[in-house]
Amino acid sequence: MKSYLKMDFYRMLTSKYFGIGILGVVGVYGFSLVQLKSQDVYLLNYYIKFYSTYMLLLIFGAVAYSNA
């Protein structure tokens, strides 16, 4: 059982799609910070949730899992 988990984590962390998903989510948050021009985390989450960038977060979050 331990070897299966080790193999799955290795496969996940070395996958190019996992890296693309992480960079995409970080990029969307960074892009939203530039547009919002505020450092308040609550406002950032509100802005992302109620504007179209929320869909981009879902897409980049699903990229890592869709390959499995």
Q: How much is the pLDDT for 16? A: 86
Nearest-Å Rg of the Cα atoms of the chain is 15
Distance of alpha carbon 60 from alpha carbon 50, whole angstroms: 17
Q: How much is the pLDDT for 20? A: 86
Does the pLDDT of residue 7 top 70, yes or no? Answer: yes
Distance of alpha carbon 6 from alpha carbon 40, whole angstroms: 38
Q: How much is the pLDDT for 68? A: 61
The predicted model gives 42-56 an average pLDDT of 72
The answer to whether 55 and 40 have CB atoms below 8 angstroms apart is no
